[in-house]
A = this chain, B = another copy of it.
Amino acid sequence: MRVSPGVSPADMQAALAEFQKIVGAEWVFTDEEDVDLYRDSYSIFWDQPEERIVAAAVCPDSVDQVQAAVKVANRYGIPIYPVSTGKNLGYGGSAPAYAGSVVLDLKRMNRILRVDEDRGFVLVEPGVSYFDLYQHLRETGSRLMVDVPDPGWGSLVGNSLDHGAGYLQPTYRNHFESHCGMEVVLADGTLLRTGMGAMPGADSWQDFKFGVGPWIDGIFSQSNFGVVTKMGFWLMPEPEAHLEANAFAYRFEDLSPMVNALNYLENTGVANGMSFVTSPLYGGSSFVPRDQRVVDHLAGAGHDLSQEELNAFADANKVPYWSMTLKFYGPEDAVRANWNFCKKEFAKRVPGTTFDEGKLWRFPLTPEQHDEVHKPSFGIPSLEMFSRGARSPNNPEGDWGHIWFAPIIPRTGEAIIEANKVISEITARFDRIDSLRRVKFSTPTTYWARSFILLFGFSIKRDPEYDRKTLECLRTLIAECAKHGWGEYRASPVVHDNVAAAYSFNNNALTRFHERLKDAVDPNGIISAGRYGIWPKHLREKKG
């Protein structure tokens, strides 16, 4: 039996016995081989003293059991770490922020409680994965799509609460904003419903988010203020068609007007899918690969070229510096008209832009088409993304995993250039590179409307020296980027304190406000201590 920090062995034993009474003996895990399944297999501290090891795991099957278990934890002061499916790889997996916590594993609560085909919503428990929901909808003949993140085995609830994202229209692919209504168990076991859920019998729980009075849902995301046991989600019905098409620009200085055109087209709803900003010269994307002439030239050179050398090659060979993949959901005639408008807009703002014809699919896809498309753009869950980190010609050793660095930068061309300059200087100093795309110049993702995230996955090698240097690189990036105003949108618990500290306006007033809320809603500080830099009082004092 492992014992949680700050808990006596006798209390640990007593609490575990009570957990067993609540969920059944077979659903409390204390044996090493069981508990170790909750290790973060992408841990940057694998097998090192700093690895955030779990003390035990408790798997309730119902809200009643969650309430009862949380009350026990609260009484004995057991630190608990709720996870939905625990698949948050690259951001910490199912391992806690505070070593020695007891994982409250909600995977058994995997009921799809409601599907409304006409209004387009579902109500689900935390254990429901994207695969589960997709399969259920397809089996029942529904025409609702699921907005899936890259790996489809995760939880809708967990992904939403950690500010995850997918690929459909902006409303849907922001997985926190596409939720409607929550049920939460507080640290004292109180059951709470938000929005219309606070009105008994309201059939509109998934129609309207706010209910009346303060809208509290946001404070349960990326935090440790409660255990979310139900969430509603809005789903996008299948449109008639999906079109994806590309614009290419040929000068370095075209990036800024290209981004401004993209902003206009997205902000007016003309381009209503997830756009991809790519450089066929410096790198590539799922939609536009690196230009073959560049690839061949590099193969001939036998080594990578500097940005200046690549620029010279591009100018001499008419290789596009930039491309944008635009995506459209809607009636076939409308998406074609929208793309035509986009072409005019790019041509007006960036003379010399060229376009491809675009590729159009009609819904529902045929089974054969499933293998041709970018699955997440069609709401099809998969695990294909994991091939990225696998052993390959580009990555002969393969990886044990990766850890994400994901700063938000302003939505301008200038910011892309400037951030790449700053970040590549640091990563070069540490001899690190994005392990998934393996390019030196990173183009931003647009998971959320109006935001640019620069996304870097750094290899985990399970080599203590290598991994420590990667962590040092990551912490340096966090601190240096903060000086430029670029802050992370999400992070692994190993850097939660660093990331939160960088949001330092007015002597970290926001973190201190979070602490104030924490003390009010979880006075014994039992839930997910340390998550996103929020420590309960007794641990702040110890730290301080």
Contacts and interface: CB of A to CB of B under 8 A. Distances in A.
Interface string A195-208: 01111111110011
Contacts of A163: 210
Interface of A: 118-121, 163, 169-171, 176-177, 180, 186, 190-194, 196-204, 207-208, 210-223, 225, 234, 236-240, 259-260, 263-264, 267-270, 272, 329-331, 333-338, 340-341, 408-412, 415, 448-452, 482-491, 499-500, 502-506, 509-514, 516-517, 519-521, 532-534
Contacts of A191: 506, 509
Given A199-B503, A334-B334, A505-B198, A519 B517 contact: no
Nearest to A213: B532
Contact of A410 (B203, B491, B513): B203
A341 B237 CA distance: 15
A270 to B, nearest CB: 6
Contacts of A532: 212-214
Leading 7 A-B pairs by shortest Cβ distance: A215-B218, A520-B520, A333-B337, A202-B485, A214-B223, A331-B341, A198-B503
A487 B194 CA distance: 13
Q: Which of the listed residues A211, A334, A338, A491 has the most CB atoms from chain B within 10 Å of its own CB?
A: A334
6 contacts: A119-B410, A198-B510, A211-B503, A213-B514, A269-B330, A517-B521
A516 B216 CA distance: 12
Contacts of A200: 485, 504-505
Nearest to A491: B212
A284 B514 CA distance: 49
Given A329-B269, A334-B341, A225 B221 contact: no
Contact of A212 (B121, B337, B410, B499): B499
A212 B162 CA distance: 10
Given A204-B485, A212-B490, A215-B218, 12 more contacts: A118-B264, A119-B411, A171-B449, A190-B506, A190-B513, A198-B510, A204-B451, A210-B489, A212-B491, A212-B532, A239-B270, A333-B341
Contacts of A121: 450
A515 to B, nearest CB: 10
Contact of A452 (B192, B207, B329, B514): B207
Nearest to A192: B509
Contacts of A483: 201
A127 to B, nearest CB: 23
A225 B218 contact: no
A203 B409 CA distance: 8
Contacts of A409: 204
Contact of A338 (B192, B201, B267, B334): B334
A423 to B, nearest CB: 15
Given A337-B337, A485-B199, A207 B450 contact: yes
Given A171-B170, A341-B334, A212 B487 contact: yes
Contacts of A198: 487, 503-505, 509-510
B207 A503 contact: no
A216 B513 contact: yes
Contacts of A204: 408-411, 451-452, 485-486
A519 to B, nearest CB: 7
Given A214-B532, A509-B192, A410 B489 contact: no
Nearest to A257: B118
